[in-house]
Chains A and B, each alone.
Chain A
Amino acid sequence: MGETWSQMWDYLGSDAAWNGRNGLPSLLWAHLQLSFTALVIATILALPPAIVLGHVRRGALLAVSVVNIGRAVPSFAVIALLLPFSLRWGFGLGFWPTLVALVLLAVPPIFTNTYTGIRDVPDDAVEAAQGMGMQSGELVRKVEVPVALPLILTGLRVSAVQVVATATLGALVGYRCLGTPIVAGFTKSDKGPLLAAAILVALVALFTDGAFARAQRWLVPWRATRQRPHDNPIAEGQTQ
């Protein structure tokens, strides 16, 4: 293990690590582009249906199934199965097949958390709002979504971390990202780049997690004084 560490420091000290197509900054940027795009698309796809279904309190079975299947599907299998279609339909290697797989990965936590959050808004709150004359649209916007916000943000947060970590798979189908040095490191004896890239991915994932946690505290300030070290345990936790 000690040798691997020194290999990493050697690598970080070298020119190759910072310049050019295979340099860490360039790989990092590509990695972030892919992750961010996947997250945005997943949010656009998952939020509206989840809010609607949660609001009408229907579709619990769908919510559960979606998240289960999403958790257990191996991402690389999805990418490899999609590849021929991606090529045939002109989307090429690398970015697009990986993007689809990442979106599939990101949707379940966002969907389930949003659905649960909206659905679990206490009935008395909904009734009180209705009593004040609110229609559905207003009710959703002004009561349900704000109340569900912690959970929605947790879903986004979990998704984001998963996506960042799993985007490394793009390297297997030709997308140059932080996964590239990791995959390359498998068959080399110099594990320096692998370790450096792995740590960088972990840092980005942790940073993303922290950023969302910060956003949660900022957007949902009335929770700031709570001591609880956890968020909602219900729909957390899935890795690639």
Chain B
Amino acid sequence: MKRQLKVVVAIALALGLTAAACGGDDDDEGGGDETSERSGSTVNIGEQDFGESAILSQIYKQALEADGFKAETVGLGGFRPLLLAAFESGDVNFAPDYLAANLEELNGGAGEATGDADETLAKLEPRLEELGLVAFTPSDAVDTNAFVVTKETADDLGLETISDLAEKGEGLTLGAPQDCEENAFCLPGLKEAYGLDLSAGFTPLDTGVIPTSLEEGAIDVALLFSTDGRIADEDWVLLEDDKQMLAADNVLPIASQELADEYGEDLSALVDKVSAELTTDDLIEMNKRYDVDKEDAEDIAADWLADHNLD
């Protein structure tokens, strides 16, 4: 009996040790050829749980590394509110976020953001300062909410703009993430700006299943990102926001005050340079590569940087 017990313990220990030994951290394969290594803090980039965020994080990461910075991406899972908490805890000191979305998060959904990027930024900056954060120059690339229908639906009902939808689409079903009911740029926005109440036909869905649902006709209108690569690929129709309900969701890198102070011009010049090169069409193209062609964010980012001589 004693012997058996020893064997049991031995096997258990062996299993445990194997697991521990095999657990060499997957060290991140060092970035591209760095010119000269900078000493100083590592840039920890907060990456959210969707393709575009992964791509943008990779773009900034690789650009920084090419310039000698140490940079890492930190996954934030499906928890958007965690972005700010991660800055607070110091896990993250840089993140490619979106202008209007960021403002609305900080003001508790008050609807302050407008379609004008400068105006929105002006409202955002004081709030960021309060939290010890700083914003870089917004990019021209915009990714905002998109109300999308299939070509058949658009042709059948003659839909080109959201106003058309308000006129002819009252009984249609809308598929969107759960927060659409409170999001100023979703149901409430439609009601206020267009007088369109889609709450009766609203179906809350996980973002991953919305495209499939639209394709299969389970929903009439889908809420997607405006840069979603599948829109063009599937020949869907993005309804135009003719009454400017949607606000300026430019890509906006933000960073902690400490990081910005530490590197000063070196960091901000580089980040702004990258942001300036980024266009909405670029986002659409890269998203298509990610979502439709199933390529890796790392490769997509590397190619974009190479094309723009930033590697």
Contact = CB atoms under 8 A, between A and B. Distances in A.
Direct contact of A and B (CB under 8 A): yes
Interface of A: 80, 83-84, 87-88, 92-94, 171-174, 176, 180, 183-184, 186-189
- The CB with the most chain B CB atoms within 10 A, among A92, A94, A173, is that of A173
A174 B204 contact: yes
Interface stretch (B7-15, B208-216, B254-262, B303-311): B208-216
Contacts, number: 57
30 contacts: A80-B208, A83-B209, A84-B212, A87-B212, A87-B217, A92-B218, A93-B205, A93-B213, A93-B218, A94-B203, A171-B204, A172-B205, A172-B206, A173-B205, A173-B206, A174-B203, A174-B205, A174-B218, A176-B204, A180-B178, A180-B204, A183-B204, A184-B178, A184-B179, A186-B78, A186-B79, A187-B78, A187-B80, A187-B177, A188-B179
B253 interface: no
Binding site secondary structure of chain A: helix
A240 to B, nearest CB: 15
Contacts of B177: 187
B179 A83 contact: no
The 3 closest A-B CB pairs, nearest first, are A87-B216, A184-B178, A172-B206
Contact of B209 (A80, A176, A183, A184): A80
A173 B210 CA distance: 9
Binding site secondary structure of chain B: loop
A140 to B, nearest CB: 39
Nearest to B212: A84
Interface of B: 78-81, 175, 177-179, 182, 203-206, 208-209, 212-213, 216-219
B80 A88 contact: no
A235 B208 CA distance: 34
A137 B209 CA distance: 48
Given A172-B205, A172-B206, A174-B203, A189 B179 contact: no
A83 B212 contact: yes
A187 B204 contact: no
